[in-house]
Chain A
Amino acid sequence: MIWEAAWLTLRLAFWTTVWLTVLGIPLAYWIATRRYRWTFLLEAFLSLPIVLPPTVVGFYVLMALGPRGPLGGAWFQATGTPIPFTFTGILVGSILFNLPFAVRPFISGFASVDRRLVEASWSLGVSAPRTFLHVVVPLAWPGILTGMALAFAHTIGEFGVVLMVGGNIPGVTQTLSILIYDEVQALNYAAAHRTALGLLTFSFAVLCAIFSSQRRMMPI
């Protein structure tokens, strides 16, 4: 059961990181380079999961994705399957909940790139997309990598949102942290301890990797 939960947790963390990278990079670049008056509203909204209890986020995600919710209803009509209590459901909840953990470091990374380097690239005849790939991404890389690693590590330990949206279905939505909860409920402390220690070690290793790579990648 533990390997099933571990595999599910890894899959969830991987796909959450992939989606957050694909969606978060354009969003973060837009926020970091455009100074519109109302940008702060978007930044505040994106940062809500940092301060809200996961159960609150999970509750609203469940409402939105349920068969009677605006998104869940449309999905149900199109596919005939509900989103809550499925892997897709916990993936959507996980993406929304981890948005600030990926996007905030992405924004910091992009904001640290000197605007003049971008302008220098343009005036050397290089298009905006190629400038983004060859100048912006390499220089913002420490921030991008931190965002990806944080999103991955944070999803590994995700509990509240996954429980609210996915419930506790072994092999479908039961991640490692939910398994720990399940084992404690069953007074199976030894098993809970093994899983918890594994998660703790993994999280510590990821953070060590982030901080040591940040030191190595520090701009000159």
Chain B
Amino acid sequence: MSATLSVHFEKRYPDTTIRAQFEQETTGYRATALFGPSGCGKTTILRAVAGLVRPETARIDWQDECWTDTQRGLHIPPQRRRVGFLFQDYALFPHMTVEQNIGYGLPHNADRRRAVGAIMERFQLSGMNRRRTHQLSGGQQQRVALARAVVRRPRLLLLDEPLSALDMNTRQQVRRELRALLIAANMPALIVTHDPLEAMALADRVVVMKDGAIRQQGRVEDVFSRPVDLAVANIVGVETVQRGEVLDITNGIAQIRVGTAVLRAVTREPVGRIVDICIRAEDVMLFRGDPGRTSAQNVLKGNVASVYPEGPLFRVLLDCGFPLTALISKQAKLDLDIAEGESITALIKAPAIHVIAGK
């Protein structure tokens, strides 16, 4: 028996076509993020997997079961796919209480009350049985929606932008909770998101989509640190992407001119090749004064162009002969006394610089 969800999907619109093909393992908690900007077609694919839309050309197989095969005119209705769908704004039934919402999809028998009670306790919803959904906070609404989807023990969870309806502060807290709940539920999940943090926190594989096509797929850490091209680098939110030229290669380490600086990086691109270099902000270390002897191959002197808070962290924009972004903690900002106009040293290890062949 194949333990995969396999999706081949194509939908034509007057001005664009959405195409996607990917597979996902279906044992335990395996999460794939369909990741990309709004309007790239990822939600349509999720809805097709749930059976809520009938694509023009598609084949969707769950293990040895065919859910959709447009060639044979086969379309298993959503009721018979046994999937749990978490809608972007949760789609809780406003005329029902929390308890009625969660138990809605369960058969009317003696086990129903027990199953609802157990899941409410696990999702920290005890005591809210008779509340209406509009009386709940955003985070509580999300837990009710997830409990409602999970209580039926679906074979696959589908999550459409699960955190987008929450404000920034709640989002950080709920992101941690959601991951713990998904792992505890131990079900495979397909998650649609345009937020890199959400993809990194919840998924172990990522499928990057843009303009209706898959641009890259693989393990989250690989895709986010080693995007295949500039478009993917921009979509996954690599903070520093700059054009450069390979000047020299010695012992596998290339010297690349970027702006007025020269960086050392690992690449197979030949001398003279125009390349794009990608540096994630969390891979940049900042230093006051002389760092002394260090394993980092790139020690760049520069000035702080601007500093602004981003949640619990600070984003520091530097001018090191090219614009470079670093992400540091509040404590580091205080310790280093970082302010606009101050001179600072940035350290980057050669393997942290990802090199893409320029076009």
Contacts and interface: CB of A to CB of B under 8 A. Distances in A.
A binds B: yes
Interface of A: 114, 116-117, 119-127, 134-135, 138-139, 219-220
Nearest to B148: A124
Given A125-B105, A126-B105, A220-B134, A116 B79 contact: no
A139 B94 contact: yes
Contacts of A125: 79-80, 82, 105, 152
B83 A122 contact: no
A220 to B, nearest CB: 5
Given A220-B132, A220-B134, A122 B95 contact: no
Contacts of A121: 93, 104-105
A206 B160 CA distance: 45
Contacts of A139: 94-95
Nearest to A135: B93
Q: Binding site of B, secondary structure by majority: helix, strand, loop or mixed? A: loop
A123 B149 CA distance: 9
Contacts of A120: 85, 87, 91, 93
The contact size tier of chain B is 20 to 34
Nearest to A119: B52
- Residue in A114, A120, A127 with the greatest tally of chain B CB atoms within 10 Å: A120
Interface in B103-139: 104-105, 132, 134
B205 to A, nearest CB: 23
Contacts of A116: 87, 89, 91
Contacts of B80: 125
A116 to B, nearest CB: 4
A163 B85 CA distance: 56
Interface of B: 50-52, 77-85, 87, 89, 91, 93-95, 104-105, 132, 134, 148-149, 152
Contacts of A123: 50-52, 78-79, 81, 83-85, 149
Contacts of B149: 123-124
Contacts of A138: 95
A139 B96 CA distance: 10
A220 B84 contact: no
Given A127-B79, A220-B134, A122 B91 contact: no
Contacts of B79: 122-123, 125-127
Contacts of B82: 125
Q: Which 10 A-B pairs have the closest CB atoms?
A: A124-B105, A120-B91, A123-B85, A116-B91, A122-B78, A220-B134, A138-B95, A123-B78, A125-B79, A125-B105
A124 B132 contact: no
A122 B94 contact: no
A135 B100 CA distance: 12
A124 B152 contact: yes
Contacts of B51: 122-123
Given A123-B85, A125-B152, A117 B91 contact: yes
A141 to B, nearest CB: 9
24 contacts: A114-B91, A116-B87, A117-B93, A119-B50, A119-B52, A119-B91, A120-B85, A121-B105, A122-B77, A122-B78, A123-B50, A123-B51, A123-B79, A123-B81, A123-B149, A124-B104, A124-B105, A124-B149, A125-B79, A126-B104, A138-B95, A139-B95, A220-B132, A220-B134
Given A116-B87, A119-B50, A135-B93, 14 more contacts: A116-B89, A116-B91, A120-B87, A121-B105, A122-B78, A122-B79, A123-B78, A123-B79, A125-B80, A125-B105, A126-B79, A126-B104, A126-B105, A127-B79
A19 to B, nearest CB: 28
B158 to A, nearest CB: 8
A211 to B, nearest CB: 21
Contacts of B104: 121, 124, 126, 134
